[in-house]
Amino acid sequence: MEYWRLFVTFLTLFCYCFSYISALDCYVCTNQTGNVEKCLNTLRTCEPGEDVCGTEIRWGSLPYFSQGALKQYYVSKRCMTKQQCQSKRKRHMPYCTHIWYEDWSCHECCQGDRCNYFIISKGLTLSTLSSFTLAVTSLILSTVFIQFLL
């Protein structure tokens, strides 16, 4: 019976650690004039199911893109689901030209804590740091559990 209580305690601790490790943090901002201030200082812990950070950069004029108007960068960042982000990236792809005299927009997706610090970061598909942290935590918890059994 004592082993069962130890096992339940270990499992509870493991689930708590895993949920803490798997929570994704992304930088968030909306239509900021460049990748400065709010876009580099405002973090949000994503909701369950939001598994990627999305970054959109637009070059043009607001509120409506128009030829000949004063142009500048507009940056937006947020938490998203992978499906939402890939869909948005696909929609923006034809307009992602980076031609300075034309209005353009690009969208990028990345996985991993704070991976959208840089605009259009070409983030990793899997966060190496998060995977490493999870592996080390699992190893430590399993070692502690084995010690309790012995």
Do residues 55 and 81 lie in contact, with contact meaning Cβ atoms separated by under 8 Å? Answer: no
Query: How much is the pLDDT for 17?
Result: 44
Query: How much is the pLDDT for 20?
Result: 47
Query: How much is the pLDDT for 15?
Result: 43
Strands 52-60 and 25-27, by their bridges, are: unpaired
Using 50 as the pLDDT threshold, list the residues of the chain that sit under it. 4, 8, 11, 13-20, 121-137
Give 106's strand partners: 57
Query: How much is the pLDDT for 134?
Result: 46
pTM of the full predicted structure?
Answer: 0.64
Query: How much is the pLDDT for 54?
Result: 97
Query: How much is the pLDDT for 23?
Result: 86
Q: In degrees to the nearest 10, what's the CA dihedral of 132, 136, 137, 138? A: 100
Assigned token pair, 75: 């940056």
Amino acid identity at 8:
V
- The number of residues in the chain equals 150
Query: How much is the pLDDT for 61?
Result: 79
Query: How much is the pLDDT for 119?
Result: 81
